[in-house]
Amino acid sequence: MKDSSHEAAGPAVNPRNLLPVLFLAALAALVIYLRLHFISLPLDNDEGVYAYIANFMNRHYLPYRDIFDHKPPGIYFIYKLAMNLFGSDAGGIRFFAALYTAAALIAVYFAAARLKDGRAKYAAALFFAACQGSVMLQGINANTETFLSLPLALAVFFAAKGEKENFRMLAMSGLMLAISSMIKESAAPAFILALVYMALKKYPVKKIACFITGFIVPFVIAALWLARFGILGDFIKCCVLFNFWYMASGLAIGARIEPRFLVEYGILIIAAVYAAFGSEDNRDGINMSFIILAGALAGIILQKGIWPHSYICACAPLCICAGLAANKLRAARAAALVALFLILSYALNWPYYFMNTLDVSKAQFNTPRFAESKLMAEKINSIKKPGQTLFVYFAQPEVYFLTGIRAPGRYLSMFDWNVLYDEAGVNAELKDVYYSKPDYMIIYKKSLFTFASMLPYYRPIVEGKELVLYVKIDNALKKPLLK
């Protein structure tokens, strides 16, 4: 009689098949840990704008028309999703960003695996995980560039799948590049370069058409949404005309390469260059991965490369391309390459993991303003009454979000920049603030002279190194609580 127990148990599981699953699970857990370690990190001014718009946005209070910002709308919906899932506070946003980054890690792994069998996928994933711990390049923050990693990695993945006669995959690659561009406009050059490559390689017209269609569809949907609420013109003024004015103005003085980027990611850049020029593999999928990387870097250059967080835009495609170098090297040298990058990344960032998050914020931006704004928001929340008003000058929009008090006007921050673009609008808002006398004011110390005529109506209750929290005398406590 046959023993059917083995048949019932099914085929034995090969432990080697579990290795990728265990590897990804461990690495995803590490990425989530790295981010959650900084879950109480104060929001910076960009994060504050996105959080404020996402929190207050509705059919009667809309971005571009009622709230000025010059970013595409994708980031507001990402923040709104984060708040709906995990709560309308900074911790919820950071927790969502941690999970999102873990998903991006998995996409990086499979994109590299699609391009090359062997060590590339493991190296790319390890590179990407280490990059998420970059404190000074703001890899731990939740800025727009953080949310580019997933769609850019997927754009590489679908481009690799579409290198044969798979038109739908090319359309998906175009779609992912469009989603990236809807989050941050600096991703758009990747689509342009990819289109040029297809033309030079004499792709069939049908394949190019599918790629373009995938890219256009999200923009059509966005345009219909903007038009439905009557803010398409406001969007063009804020996200097109203002951005061209900004790039042409002297506000972002001179293009440069952030030294920290070269120090932290220099090994990856060298590895990617080696993989690009030392390879005899001329498959379209591999070429497209380097083109998407070049497009991401071009987007950084167009923004003049002055903001550290801009470089996170290139993180996913850079790690994928650098991972390809591991396949070209012998096993020992590939392991040494990965180990060298991990050790360097750890050496540069480990001290910040023993610091208070307020001090980490000060180190990131070389200013205590974001730490002070968080403390001042907590103070306002402890004493505010329903219906009270707030005004913040000049660059701490996160306070409006943290206190749940709507801004008095259209401009949330950077008044000294916006006045150069819309002098009449900014001055009108400041005039309204003067006459309305909000219940609370947070003023940058160097700008106190601007409000000299208002200060007799107020009393300081929290004074930091760079910011001062004032309360109208009717509501003021008798003496300052914090200095």
DSSP 270-324: HHHHHHHHS-----HHHHHHHHHHHHHHHHHHHTTT-SGGGGGGGHHHHHHHHHH
Confidence of residue 285 (pLDDT cuts 50, 70, 90): confident
Enclosing H/E stretch for 130: helix 120-131
Where a domain ends, among 354, 381, 400? 354
Query: Are 304 and 416 in a shared domain?
Result: no
Query: Are 314 and 380 in a shared domain?
Result: no
Separation of alpha carbons 418 and 261, rounded Å: 29
Domain assignment of residue 261, given as a range: 17-354
- In tens, the pLDDT along 296-337 reads 999 988 877 778 899 999 999 999 999 999 998 999 999 999
Q: In the predicted model, what is the mean pLDDT of the chain? A: 91
Cβ neighbours of 448 (radius 10 Å) = 14
Query: Are 107 and 130 in a shared domain?
Result: yes
Going by C-alpha positions, the residue among 368, 403, 387 that lies closest to residue 89 is 403
Average pLDDT for 272-286: 82
Query: Are 192 and 159 in a shared domain?
Result: yes
Biggest distance spanned by C-alpha atoms of the chain: 100
Query: Cβ(146)–Cβ(312) under 8 Å?
Result: yes
Does the residue 395 lie in any domain? yes
pLDDT of residue 317: 97
Query: Are 405 and 287 in a shared domain?
Result: no
pLDDT of residue 480: 47
Where a domain ends, among 285, 320, 354? 354
Query: Are 159 and 272 in a shared domain?
Result: yes
- In tens, the pLDDT along 201-251 reads 999 999 999 999 999 999 999 999 999 999 999 999 999 999 888 777 765
Where a domain ends, among 333, 354, 375? 354
Separation of alpha carbons 432 and 412, rounded Å: 14
Query: Are 314 and 397 in a shared domain?
Result: no
Does the residue 173 lie in any domain? yes
User: Of 16-25, 62-71, 102-111, 121-130, which range is least confident?
Assistant: 16-25
Average pLDDT for 375-380: 97
Does the residue 36 lie in any domain? yes
In angstroms, the Cα distances linking 342 to 116, 148, 352, 436 are: 22, 22, 16, 55
Beta bridge partners of 67: 63
pLDDT of residue 481: 46
Does the residue 480 lie in any domain? no
Does the residue 411 lie in any domain? yes
Q: For a pLDDT cut of 70, what percent of the chain falls above it?
A: 92
Average pLDDT for 350-378: 96
**Peptide bond between residue 394 and the one before it cis (omega within 30 degrees of 0):** yes
pLDDT of residue 254: 54
Does the residue 1 lie in any domain? no
- In tens, the pLDDT along 30-43 reads 999 999 999 999 99
Does the residue 430 lie in any domain? yes
The count of C-alpha atoms lying within 13 angstroms of the C-alpha of 170, restricted to the half-sphere facing its C-beta, is: 23
Confidence of residue 1 (pLDDT cuts 50, 70, 90): very low
Query: Are 216 and 122 in a shared domain?
Result: yes
Separation of alpha carbons 182 and 222, rounded Å: 9
Average pLDDT for 114-131: 94
Query: Are 121 and 45 in a shared domain?
Result: yes
pLDDT of residue 475: 56
Query: Are 315 and 390 in a shared domain?
Result: no
- Number of domains, the chain: 2
For tokens 């590179």, the residue is 127
In angstroms, the Cα distances linking 439 to 44, 239, 430, 434, 436 are: 24, 32, 15, 12, 9
Query: Are 349 and 402 in a shared domain?
Result: no
**Amino acid in the structure at residue 147:** F
Query: Are 233 and 371 in a shared domain?
Result: no
Q: CA-based angle 35:25:139, to the nearest 5?
A: 25
Does the residue 361 lie in any domain? no
